[in-house]
Every structure is written in C-alpha cells, then in structure tokens.
Chains A and B, each alone.
Chain A
C-alpha cells in the first residue's frame, strides 16, 4: 500500500479509534457532543500509545513494528466492547444547547470547510521533507534517533544529531509509532499524526465554543482560530499544536467539571494536562499558570459545583505526574539539561540571575514586541486584545465567573514567556543580530509561544461574549445549566 495512506491509517486512524474507545470508557459519549468526543479521542488515543511505543523501544523492539497498529486496533475493539458493557455507568456529559436548524447547519458547514482547509494545508506542506528548522533538528531527529537506536543506546545520537535533546518525548514517540508501522524512517509522512492534532484542536474548540455560544456566533469565531498561527505551525512536525490542544482540552474539561461535576471531565482534564506536559518543556509553565488560574477561579467563584475528593479522583493526577516523571527519567539517564535553567549552558548564571540583570535592559524590547504582536490581524492575534476588551466591559463578572480561568491562565502564560525571553541565554553577536540574541529568539519563538495560549484566549473570549451579549449566548438545556450538586461523588 502507498506509504502515505498507510501512515494515515496506522498512525492517525488507529490511534483515533483507540482513543474513541478509551474516551467512552472514561464516560464521554459521542451523542453528547460529537466534536468534543472526537477531539478528545485523538488526544487520548495518542496519549495511550506513547508509553506503549516507549516500552517497545526500551525492550529493543521485541516484535516487528508493523504488528503494533494491529495490536492497537484489537485493543480499540476490546475497549469499545468494554465501553458498551459500561454503558449503564456512563452519563451523557456533553452539552446539548438548543439552536435553530439553520444555525446548526451553518456551524457544521463552517467546521467542514475549515477542516478541509487544514487538510489541504497539510497536504501542501508535506510536499517538503522535514529536513530544515526546529521540526527537523529537534523533533524529527529525536524520533529518528529513538527508532534507529539499538538497545536504547541513544547517547551518541542525542549528542550529535539532535538539537535540544532535553525536550519531552511525546511528539517523538508519536512519530516513532508511524515509523514502526511503516517499518522505516519516514521523511514526509511523519508529519501526519502531528498535524492531526490540529484537527483535534479544531474539534475541541468547536465543542467548547458551542457550549457557550449559539452556533451562528461560534462559527465565525472558529474561522478566527483557524486563521491564527495554526496555519504555519501545521506545516511542520513541531510540538506547539499538541501543547495548545492539550492545554485547551484541560481548561475546557476543568470548566465543564466545575459546571456539571461529572467525573469524566476530571479524567479528561488529567489527560489534557499530560498531553501539555509531554509535548514541550513550556507545558510545565503553562500547566502551572492554568492550575493557578483554576485555583483563583475556585476562590472567586463559589458557584462552582465540586472539588475533587481524594483517593481515586486525585489518582487521575498521576497521569500528568507520570508525564513529568518519564521526562525527568529520560533526561537524567542521558544527562540532558535545559539551556534556560542549566547555568553551565548559560554563561554560569542561573535563570533568576539573568532575569535580574537583564530585566531593565531587555524588558522594553520584549514589551514592544508583544505590543506589536497583539495588533497583528494577519495571524488572528487580535484575539488577545479582544479578550481584554471583553474583560474590561464586564470586569467583575468575567473575572469572578468561569471566563476568569482562561483569562488568568493566558495572562500568566504570556507573562511567563515574557520573562523567559528577557532571560534568554542567547547572546547578541554584534553584526549578526538577525541570527543571535533576543531579537532572533523573539522572531523565531515569540509567535509560536503566543500560539500556545491563543486557543485558551479564544475560549475565554467565547465565554466572555456569552456574558456580554445575551443574544450570542447558547440556549442551555437542563442538563448543562450550571452546577449539579448531586454529582459530587467522583469515582
């Protein structure tokens, strides 16, 4: 079979179906909101397969890689059957806002067109191999090193072939699954499973927006999300879209959990956090920002339904903890360090020392860059000032309500990134500022990092619009109308 189509089947479709079966077992049903269901399915499917792939590599590939997709397909069938058996336990946890038929059709049409545009974009981008830039030097190279290494002996390859080898493993493992299924290193097709995270992000966003807004308002907002930096990020195998999808999913799941209290959302939130933490180092900072925002949200908004009870509920947090633990284990085993935090790689000064010294010097440049970025309509970055305007229109209501969570998380995330840029270890080389130093770092990473929180800002905007404009609000049905205090038991 053609390698491209085979990779689509074994590295995109199989994980998607496995995830669908797993998500059903977690308590989420497609008939409660199919966009949310299928968005989560891809994230959970890939999250399930990543440790399997790592174990397969660790055991020195004990079975041919081509067997793995078949095993995953069998596991999907078994999980689906298990999900059917557990149908009585599951509750329909998806929102079912009422809407006129023409509005529902409009949203479906816009979603279909945007999905087609993303697929067209991916097909065009995949005419080029992943052979230049971060996609090649950080992510594809690490996947190739992992797949080709014998007896998990990676020290030489990580030192000589991979840039930033300390970055987490989720993205390379997703690619390795594609290599394993194909039985060879792929130069073009390895992007496909990473690009599918873009579709998953779109589906998650559609489900989240539909919960707050009527379809006729949610549809143009989706256009806005798709026209963002997602357009060029999907052209590469880099992990930024994965991170953004995990973060959006975790935030949306937390908000739904606070609103309705169903344990499925708690479990999915844990999955989203694990995706974000496993995608990039920056995920740790953004997850921290989200957790802080959620904590502040709990303090400010007493209307929320539930807080998790100990034991099994908190046990789900082992999932993101495991993502951190595996990353730490791998880096410790191969002696990998991050250039931002290892003084030995940054002129002997710690991050805080650099921050203290450089804050007065660099903060104007960083602030100016962010100022320019926030008014760039070409990449839909007006989402950020729009969120600010919406918050300023009803500050008390937005901050104290659920919309305060994404708003504060975005503020925390962007502030964290600004500080990281101030303390960047990349030094200016006179005459070569275009290739070194802060300007270079901002020009290459600034937009990407802003995109990590753009879907969160977009979600906050959708929620704030629902607060601000009653006519734009989704018409809620009984099962999605705020807290349900009889659902506090979290298994």
Chain B
C-alpha cells in the first residue's frame, strides 16, 4: 500500500514536471509564432487580389504566369523545357524546379508538362492540333534578370517553323505549334 502510494507520488511528480515544462515551452513557441502582420501589410493578408498575391510570391516570374494565363486557352497543353527532372535536380536547379511546381499548380486547368524534347510530343498525334511551349532562359533566371523590359533581340535560339513565338520576356519565351 505504501509502495503504491510512493509510486503514485513519484509518477505524479514526474508528470507535473513534464507538464510544467511542456506548457512553458508551448507558450513561448506560440508567442514567437505570432506574426500580427509584421511580415507584410494588412492589405496583402486580407484584401489583396489573387493577382497581387501571385505577384508577391512569384516576383519577377509573375510575368510568366500572367503571359500564359492571358494567352493560352483553358485546358491547353503547355510544355516546359526544364533543365532537369525533380528527382535528379541539383541545388542550383531548385529555384527553377520550385518555379515549375508553382506554375503547374497555379495554371491548372492549363496542363503543364515538363519534357526534355518538345518535338517528340508534337509529333505524337495524341497531343492535339495546338501545343504551347514555355522556354525558360535559365541563365537569365539564375542571374536574377528582371522579367521586363523585353529585350530587342531573342535571347534563346529560335525554333524552326511551324513553331511561332507568341510572347517574349526577359526570362522566358512562349511558343505555339500548330499542326498544319
């Protein structure tokens, strides 16, 4: 009986210590987590439009999002020539891999497909009559070049017909392929 009481008190004391520590640690963590708008304006947190929020997140690359949204019809197929697949991405590739993931999710129902060779896709009859291609200027993105103004001369090698350039930005080009 006495042993049971001692055991109960021991475990009770240990429990009180663990709980006290955890409540204190939890309270401190919660206070540290409070942002109260310090990281950004109340406007962005509550009343900003989707375009403003996207612009904040994508920064210079919001121009790519805007160009694709304004140019492509819904449910279009947008091919992207990315440097590497996610599974084999190096540390230097991560910003572009992140950008591609963001574009894939933000642009739906435009289908974004990361392909190494766009020509193979357009040669496939299942691809439909119209295929779009987003070409990222990896060097410009890596160097943090501004999205605008548009350079006078193309910065990427031109594609052969029937590919047609539709939009050109400082860090990207949007091309269309129409099956004749």
Which A residues contact B (CB, under 8 angstroms)?
2-5, 114, 117, 120-121, 123-124, 126-132, 136-137, 140-141, 144-145, 148, 160-161, 185-188, 220-221, 223-224, 226-228, 231, 377-378, 380, 382-383, 385-386, 389-390, 392-394, 435, 468-469
Contacts and interface: CB of A to CB of B under 8 A. Distances in A.
Contacts of B102: 129, 131-132
Contacts of B30: 114, 117, 223, 226-227, 231
A205 to B, nearest CB: 14
A188 to B, nearest CB: 5
Given A4-B46, A231-B29, A129 B106 contact: yes
Interface range for B: 35 or more
A394 B4 CA distance: 9
A31 B163 CA distance: 69
B105 A129 contact: yes
Contacts of A228: 26
Interface string B76-87: 000000000001
B47 interface: yes
B48 to A, nearest CB: 8
Nearest to A377: B25
Nearest to B40: A127
Contacts, number: 139
A161 B78 CA distance: 13
B101 A132 contact: yes
Contacts of A114: 30
A120 B44 contact: no
B26 A224 contact: yes
B15 A386 contact: yes
Interface stretch (B49-57, B141-149, B153-161, B164-172): B49-57
Nearest to B108: A144
A407 to B, nearest CB: 14
State the majority secondary structure of interface residues on A.
helix
Given A117-B33, A130-B105, A185-B108, 20 more contacts: A5-B47, A117-B30, A124-B40, A127-B44, A127-B45, A127-B56, A131-B105, A144-B108, A148-B75, A187-B53, A223-B30, A224-B22, A224-B26, A228-B26, A380-B29, A382-B21, A382-B22, A386-B19, A390-B11, A393-B12
Nearest to A147: B109
Nearest to A137: B105
B66 interface: no
Contacts of A128: 57
B47 A226 contact: no
Given A120-B34, A124-B45, A227-B30, A141 B105 contact: yes
Nearest to B12: A393
B27 interface: yes
Contact of A468 (B12, B23, B104): B12
**Chain A CB within 10 Å, residue with most, of B15, B21, B39:** B15
The 3 closest A-B pairs by CB, nearest first: A227-B26, A393-B11, A382-B22
B113 to A, nearest CB: 8
A386 B22 contact: yes
B46 A5 contact: yes
Of B8, B21, B30, B39, the most chain A CB neighbours within 10 A belong to: B30
A126 B48 CA distance: 11
Contacts of B98: 132
Given A128-B57, A160-B111, A393-B15, A187 B22 contact: no
B14 interface: yes
Given A129-B106, A141-B105, A226-B30, A3 B22 contact: no
B36 interface: yes
B26 A226 contact: yes
Nearest to B9: A393
Interface of B: 7-8, 11-12, 14-15, 18-19, 21-23, 25-27, 29-30, 33-36, 39-40, 44-50, 53-54, 56-57, 74-75, 87, 98, 101-102, 104-106, 108-109, 111
With a 10 A CB-CB cut-off, give which of A129, A131, A136, A377 has the most chain B CB atoms: A131
B25 A227 contact: yes
Contacts of A390: 11, 15
A337 B38 CA distance: 45
Nearest to A382: B22
A137 B39 CA distance: 27
Nearest to A392: B11
A221 B21 CA distance: 12
Contacts of B14: 389
A148 B47 CA distance: 26
B111 to A, nearest CB: 7
A283 B50 CA distance: 34
A385 to B, nearest CB: 6
A227 B35 CA distance: 15
Nearest to B8: A393
A121 B35 contact: yes
A306 B75 CA distance: 56
A392 B7 CA distance: 9
Contacts of A144: 108-109
B15 to A, nearest CB: 4
Contacts of A140: 105
B39 A124 contact: yes
Nearest to B49: A3
Contact of A127 (B29, B49, B57, B101): B57
A131 B99 CA distance: 9
Interface centre among B12, B22, B47 (most CB of A within 10 A): B22
Contacts of A186: 50
A161 B111 contact: yes
Nearest to A140: B105
Given A129-B102, A131-B102, A140-B105, A394 B8 contact: yes
Given A3-B49, A380-B26, A231 B33 contact: yes
A137 to B, nearest CB: 8
Nearest to B48: A4
A172 B73 CA distance: 25
Contacts of B44: 127
Contacts of B26: 223-224, 226-228, 377, 380
